Structure 1
Amino acid sequence: MQKFIGTGVALVTPFNEDLSVDFDALIKLVNYNIDNGTNYLVINGTTAESATITEEEKQEIIEIIVKTNNKRLPLVLGVGGNNTLKVVEELKTRDLSDIDGILSVAPYYSKPTQEGFYQHFKAVAEATDKPIILYNVPGRTAKNMEPATTLRLAKDFSNIVGVKEAGNNQQQYYTLLKNKPEDFLIISGDDDLVLGVTLAGGSGVISVIGQAFPKEFSKMIQLGLKGENKAAFDIHFKMMDIVDFIFEENNPAGIKTVLQELNICKNEVRLPLVKASTELQLKIANFVTSFK
């Protein structure tokens, strides 16, 4: 699955001041990433505030991104949840003809056993022939999908092609990398750990900060994939502070503040999230000004 190696970005959903979707800003964001080295786009992930997007908005967002992208980059669509039957129904009924892969989050809130994770993703894999990237993010789901479960799924279902691992757990990454099937993708969902993971044999990242600095972040990942660690770490060190800043309060309030400083979209978010604090906005503004 070469199309999912490198830098994917988890696109935000830009909002106007009245909290309607800002489709002009979304088009601007998509083109900005395509023009600056991003390898693939992820639609309707956590960073898109998918929990507060209506079904009608989601469909329009997909259509706008598909049209704007115009087949230039692979597209990955977030389809997941803790109602397995609903996830399966969406995969069977949604038009996925323009979608290259599915990102499916581990069931949240319900806290299934490892067998529950397996049976959930078994049902997901059997509902579509699209490539599936599992998404393990225990900080949001309240339960870790253990490496043994991920690797069991990888071996049992040919269309489960990778995992976006976002537990900020270096040892778990190494366990997956050590034991994975040869072509199975270990994709970092941790912007702070991704370079080390890539150098250890990972396939890159689905990034939050990458959509704001696609040129620099994509270059870092490409250098990491080539094993050019010194040049890659030079970029990593320059970006360490901003990665910390964007996750200091909540995601995507931080990244939307960065994108506002870059004149790409406003920093509006929907409740229960709130905008970045004045102090954080100032730190981000200072970084963006100096980074330019």
Structure 2
Amino acid sequence: MSLRQTLRGTGVALVTPFNASGKIDFFALETLINYVIKNGVEYVVSLGTTGETPTLSKEEKIDILQFTYEKVDGRVPVVAGVGGNNTQELIHDLHHYPLEKATAILSASPYYNKPSQEGIFLHYKALAEASPKPIILYNVPGRTGRNMEAATTLRLAHEVPNIGGIKEAANNMVQCMQILKDRPEHFLVVSGDDDLVMPQMSCGMDGVISVAANCLPRKFTDMVRAGLAFDFGKAKEINDTLLEAYYLLFAENNPSGVKAFLSELGLIENNLRLPMVPLSESLREKVVAYLRN
């Protein structure tokens, strides 16, 4: 079965809860996993950027991944995040991380060193050849500093067998439409922009890997399902109620926004690791007001 069939709908990029001393709060992580599955997400993504992976040690990443498999317990697929800008180090990680229970690997395009399109292509080709699971490309130029152009995505999709899909977060509707127009039939295309997923589904996207689905999973998954069913009247009605939440989630940074929401919902403590800090008090008050309404 292709990733396009297996991962259609809403995936959630899980946050990593921390306690007041900065240690991983595994009890809160279990609570969050159960909360999002109960409220309708189709799959979870462990060790994405929303999980503050730049601040996690490799030992912590492995512990989180194994814990996530255990607590998900086969109820939904698990996608593992393995990304970075050192190709050889990532190949090593693909050989040594516990990936047997993962459905796929989500890997962000190399950040900071800003490779050419050919460099991006060869990077992903090398990962795909080394990976025991299909690779989902992740294009997020707002974080990486380099856009992966539609032509590069399509070249990978058509030429590299173990490339199974893309999380497209370039905030560029035309680029999305170019990918959707020429992708292989099996190739998964999901959004990485919560605020754009509704119109992107009208162009043929298969769903989303979401931040908002951590804290507003029921409403968000209902909206995505309506969009995938081409019921855009219902999708718009729900999406209109989420527009303010999208702003609050990303106004300062991610995951400060979503952790503020989750803290107010009583699911986690509002702790982050430097250089990330909690949401400003003025925005936190707006989060409280939004949830009350």
Q: What range is the shorter-chain TM-score in?
A: over 0.9
Deviation at 1:95, TM superposition (A): 2.3
Q: Partner of 2:194: helix, strand, or coil?
A: coil
For normalisation by structure 2, the TM-score amounts to 0.97
Show the counterpart of 2:120: 117
Q: Could you give the per-residue CA deviations for residues 36-88 of structure 1, whole angstroms, max 9, x where no partner exists?
A: 10000000010000000111211111121111100111000000110000011
Query: Where does structure 1 differ by over 3 angstroms across 4 or more consecutive aligned residues?
Result: none
- For residues 194-205 of structure 1, the aligned pairs below 5 Å read 194-205=197-208
- For residues 76-225 of structure 1, the aligned pairs below 5 Å read 76-225=79-228
Tell me if structure 1 keeps the 8 A contact 2:263–2:269.
yes
Show the counterpart of 2:51: 48
- For residues 28-67 of structure 1, the aligned pairs below 5 Å read 28-67=31-70
For normalisation by structure 1, the TM-score amounts to 0.98
Q: Partner of 1:192: helix, strand, or coil?
A: helix
Q: Partner of 2:54: helix, strand, or coil?
A: helix
Tell me if structure 2 keeps the 8 A contact 1:136–1:167.
yes
- For residues 209-288 of structure 1, the aligned pairs below 5 Å read 209-288=212-291
Q: Partner of 2:75: helix, strand, or coil?
A: coil
The 1-side partners of 2:98 and 2:59 are apart by 14
Residue 4 in structure 1 maps to residue 7 in structure 2: yes
| Identity level (%) | 47
The 2-side partners of 1:172 and 1:54 are apart by 35
Letter in 2 for 1:133: I
Letter in 1 for 2:167: K
Deviation at 1:131, TM superposition (A): 1.5
Tell me if structure 2 keeps the 8 A contact 1:80–1:105.
yes
Over aligned residues, Cα RMSD in angstroms? 0.8
Letter in 2 for 1:97: E
The 1-side partners of 2:91 and 2:62 are apart by 17
Letter in 1 for 2:12: V
The 2-side partners of 1:79 and 1:63 are apart by 14
Letter in 2 for 1:68: K
Deviation at 1:203, TM superposition (A): 0.5
Letter in 2 for 1:39: E
Deviation at 1:114, TM superposition (A): 0.2
Q: Could you give the per-residue CA deviations for residues 188-215 of structure 1, whole angstroms, max 9, x where no partner exists?
A: 0000000111121001000000111111
Tell me if structure 2 keeps the 8 A contact 1:3–1:40.
no
Letter in 1 for 2:82: V
Number of aligned residues: 290
Tell me if structure 2 keeps the 8 A contact 1:125–1:159.
yes
The 1-side partners of 2:239 and 2:259 are apart by 21
